[in-house]
Structure 1
Amino acid sequence: MIARSRPFGQRYAFVVVAVIFLCLLIAAGLRSAPAVMMLPLEESFGWRRDVVSLAAAIGIFLYGLTGPFAAALMERIGLRRTLLAALLLMSGSTALSLLMTKPWHLFLTWGVFSGVGSGAVATVLGATIVNRWFKTNRGLVMGLMSASSATGLLVFMPLLASLAQSGSWKPVAIAIAVATAALVPLVYMLVPERPAAIGMVRYGADLDDVPPTPPAAQGNFLTHTLTTLRRAAGTRVFWYLFATFFVCGFTTNGLVGTHLIAFCGDMGIGEVQAAGLLSLMGIFDLIGTTLSGWLTDRYDPRKLLGVYYAIRGLSLIYLPYSGFSATSLIVFAVLYGLDWIATVPPTLRLSNEAFGDRSGPIVFGWIVAGHQVGAATAALFGGTMRELQGNYELAFLIAGMTAIAAACISLLINTGKPAFDPEPQAA
């Protein structure tokens, strides 16, 4: 049971952030696992890369689509219950994959079940925690939690690649299942529903600044989620944010996260070495995304997005012509890694400014869904282009050009006034 008294005062918010950071980190490890399993699955079952890419695409798509519904479910039944159920689903589906023998087993476990489970342990969870637990420093904290996916690459990719290289794909699945299950007691014991549940206020708020605890959303949470989408979809700012985050997903975990190891393999670079490249990106993204959060608290988020997408696009266009030497790959890892997901804090700030703290997380969930639709598209697109052309060159060039387009769209976003009126309490 969550105790009524906690140490650290307002700083207990950072204890909650630490636990959520671990949850996001493990979820990132789960979502990145198909990248290191692609070649072992091909060797074990004879499944082509486009088959494994399709399973990854299903998981990525549902990872994004689940987000807004998870945000509404957190309002309906509580954040803790939603998070605990998601962790159990992630662990169970990954463990169940140890029994798979057919491609549809892969689609069901690593696609459908893990996609839905990890979708509730995603960026929208971080947004909900930031809005509930912090009045100040929101951009910085969101940057830290967004960086968890980079840290997931840093921690998990070399380990998972080593497991895959020495023991095929099953040790990878076991490691993910055990790590996910270990989070359940941590969440149960250390994550209250909100500060008021333990007699505290948000970090940065005055002690007498205690906002009333909003009543649980009533009615069907599915209807609530879809109604919020309908209202947001009537605004231009939503579609600008959706389009840019589609490109964000297309150019990050969809293409690079899923296919970079295989691309390096085509160029004669081993899995562990390629995973080390992703880890290097993770180090620089941890720096870049945290810095992005700090910058988001201080500067125009639209201009930040323009710079981030432009740098990303140029990095992707550079890679196919880099020669894949050690020096050129380090240059790519640094430039690309610095803004792997640096786009998250400014995008969340723009969403909150346009749609408010209550509707903002659900709308942001739909924007993140656009990110994952883009990622799913790129995961499938990259595998298909590799089968059709025998290489990944054109896929990376196209991704780079879409990032340049997103840089231009970012500058058109206007959140000068709320996109729509505050949402009624009942759904």
Structure 2
Amino acid sequence: MLAKYIRLRFHYGWLIAIITFLALLASAGMRSTPSVLIVPLEKNFGWSNATISFAISINLVLYGLSGPFAAALMQRMGIRRVMIGALILIALACGLTTVMTAPWQLDLLWGVLVGLATGSIASVLAALIANRWFVKNRGLVMGLLTASNATGQLVFLPLLASLAVSWGWRASAWATAIAALILLPLVILLFSDHPRDIGLRPYGADPEEEDPSNATNATGNPFSDAIKGLVLGMRSKDFWLLAGSFFICGASTNGLIGTHLIPASMDHGISEVTAASMLALIGIFDLIGTTVSGWLSDRVDARWLLCWYYGLRGLSLLLLPYALGSTYLLLLVFIVFYGLDWVATVPPTSRLAADIFGKEQVAIVYGWIFAAHQFGAATAAYTAGALRTTEGSYQISFISAGILCLFAAGMVIRIGRTRREQVAIEIPVESASALQ
């Protein structure tokens, strides 16, 4: 590993953030690939939208469920080793997808294997890197790393759609496998697990304080650590509010729009490449929105940020059925407003989790919160596909998701309310004791 021998003019944590950004970017592109393959697979194999959506829903569930276990494994074995294993598994599974002949093989390869591998280098990785390598600008780094999910779509989706149209869907699968193999040497040679491994402290850390990166060490069984994190979270009302709102977040983003916007657009006469470019345009605006959200989460009450994000997203989703059947101008309005908060909810959610459960537990507890996000995504991915098969349109799915987002806007305001009420009760008692 070259990391310990490299001396930079800037803190090495920024290079770690860049490598993590690229890994998350590639992971997002790989995970989103099935959205451009729904129609080609329907035509090539005669599989229904519901059949293909089932494989995508498996992917989404395991993408989220693997998060807390991956976080515990990273704390036990090291982030670098887990990332290397995940990238190799992605390349292998994507390559094998090109020779599949039955739906169960799609379920196994793109559903199970790619779901587990991409879930190991997802938002949990972003939270772990931001909290381990940064004290100053932690929210900004979390926002940038989260935005890589949108950038992954920006880079991959138009290219993958073009490959699928020009060379067939197998070319898209090979492209994702090659991307994973290209990224592998960067992780092997340059990535470092801890600042202390190369003689540094986290960026912005007080030299007089204990190194906060030491708090992320783990000595127990990774499976046991992950379950303990879940038990810790389930005892808190705030965990359920965060997980519940994030369930709706997943249902209204990668579950519904990320999976079904392209086929829904094609239902309205929009070409596959144009539809993929629309989704990539959403990614451009999300890159802006999520980065700004990370900056704001260092300065503004995260609960109010989430309230605004969910509220605006709900209104934009209620507009979508009319936008698809109307002019491109109305569709552009949807793309701008929806895109600005596609995953802008992640930095304030991660910030709240760290504040409530502490930096020692945040990676695993946030992993379970993110698992709820992906359960919501999987539910929406399959349900929307099934409704499209039976009803012939996505209108019910879009309107239902909009209403759920408005409900989530009300949920997030209650986060931390119990703790604030306890403080309000305790202050007068302490004041009375002081007077005595």
RMSD: 1.4
What is the CA distance between 1:209 and its match in structure 2?
A: 4.4
What is the CA distance between 1:311 and its match in structure 2?
A: 0.3
Q: Does the Cα contact within 8 Å between 1:80 and 1:191 map onto a contact in 2? A: yes
Q: Secondary structure at the match of 1:357?
A: coil
What is the CA distance between 1:214 and its match in structure 2?
A: 4.8
Structure 2: unaligned runs, 5 residues or longer: 421-436
Q: Which residue of 1 aligns with 2:393?
A: 391
Q: Secondary structure at the match of 2:127?
A: helix
User: Could you report, residue by residue, the CA deviation over 1:373-409 in whole angstroms, capped at 9, with x for unpaired residues?
Assistant: 0000000011011011100001100000000000000
What is the CA distance between 1:160 and its match in structure 2?
A: 0.6
Q: Does the Cα contact within 8 Å between 1:201 and 1:209 map onto a contact in 2? A: no
Q: In structure 2, how many angstroms separate the alpha carbons of the residues matched to 1:202 and 1:210?
A: 11
Q: Secondary structure at the match of 1:170?
A: helix
Q: In structure 1, how many angstroms separate the alpha carbons of the residues matched to 2:167 and 2:4?
A: 46
Q: Does the Cα contact within 8 Å between 1:10 and 1:203 map onto a contact in 2? A: no
Q: Which residue of 2 aligns with 1:308?
A: 309
Q: In structure 1, how many angstroms separate the alpha carbons of the residues matched to 2:162 and 2:198?
A: 43
Q: In structure 1, how many angstroms separate the alpha carbons of the residues matched to 2:331 and 2:216?
A: 52
Q: Secondary structure at the match of 1:340?
A: coil
Q: Which residue of 2 aligns with 1:405?
A: 407
Q: Does the Cα contact within 8 Å between 2:163 and 2:169 map onto a contact in 1? A: yes
User: Could you report, residue by residue, the CA deviation over 1:199-243 in whole angstroms, capped at 9, with x for unpaired residues?
Assistant: 011111244545173584223211111011012101100000000
State the AA in 2 paired with 1:252. T
Q: Which residue of 2 aligns with 1:243?
A: 244
Q: Does the Cα contact within 8 Å between 1:282 and 1:337 map onto a contact in 2? A: yes
Q: Which residue of 1 aligns with 2:157?
A: 157
State yes or no: 1:89 paired with 2:89: yes
Q: Which residue of 2 aligns with 1:71?
A: 71
Q: Does the Cα contact within 8 Å between 2:82 and 2:120 map onto a contact in 1? A: yes
Q: Which residue of 2 aligns with 1:342?
A: 344
Q: Which residue of 1 aligns with 2:109?
A: 109
- Within-5 A mapping of 1:262-341: 262-322=263-323, 323-341=325-343
Mean Cα displacement is larger for which, 244-253 or 198-207? Answer: 198-207
Q: Which residue of 2 aligns with 1:259?
A: 260
What is the CA distance between 1:339 and its match in structure 2?
A: 0.1
Q: In structure 1, how many angstroms separate the alpha carbons of the residues matched to 2:57 and 2:364?
A: 23
User: Could you report, residue by residue, the CA deviation over 1:139-196 in whole angstroms, capped at 9, with x for unpaired residues?
Assistant: 1110000000110111111101101111221000000000011111101111111100
State the AA in 2 paired with 1:308. Y
State the TM-score, normalizing by the size of structure 1: 0.95
Mean Cα displacement is larger for which, 407-416 or 66-75? Answer: 407-416
Q: Which residue of 1 aligns with 2:7?
A: 7
Q: Does the Cα contact within 8 Å between 2:63 and 2:115 map onto a contact in 1? A: yes
Q: In structure 2, how many angstroms separate the alpha carbons of the residues matched to 1:275 and 1:104?
A: 26
Q: In structure 2, how many angstroms separate the alpha carbons of the residues matched to 1:415 and 1:14?
A: 36
Q: Secondary structure at the match of 2:342?
A: coil
State the AA in 1 paired with 2:61. F
Q: Does the Cα contact within 8 Å between 1:10 and 1:201 map onto a contact in 2? A: no
User: Could you report, residue by residue, the CA deviation over 1:100-147 in whole angstroms, capped at 9, with x for unpaired residues?
Assistant: 000000000000000000000100000000011000111111000000
Q: Which residue of 1 aligns with 2:434?
A: none
Q: In structure 1, how many angstroms separate the alpha carbons of the residues matched to 2:342 and 2:112?
A: 25
Q: Does the Cα contact within 8 Å between 2:215 and 2:360 map onto a contact in 1? A: no
Q: Secondary structure at the match of 2:180?
A: helix
What is the CA distance between 1:6 and its match in structure 2?
A: 2.9
Cα separation, partners in 2 of 1:208 and 1:4, compared to 1, 3 Å = farther
Q: In structure 2, how many angstroms separate the alpha carbons of the residues matched to 1:224 and 1:83?
A: 19
Mean Cα displacement is larger for which, 330-339 or 202-211? Answer: 202-211
Q: Which residue of 2 aligns with 1:169?
A: 169
Q: In structure 1, how many angstroms separate the alpha carbons of the residues matched to 2:393 and 2:201?
A: 54
- Within-5 A mapping of 1:35-54: 35-54=35-54
User: Could you report, residue by residue, the CA deviation over 1:83-102 in whole angstroms, capped at 9, with x for unpaired residues?
Assistant: 11111111111111111000
Q: In structure 1, how many angstroms separate the alpha carbons of the residues matched to 2:9 and 2:117?
A: 32
What is the CA distance between 1:12 and its match in structure 2?
A: 1.5
The alignment-based identity, stated in percent, is 49
Q: In structure 2, how many angstroms separate the alpha carbons of the residues matched to 1:294 and 1:390?
A: 42
State the AA in 1 paired with 2:265. C
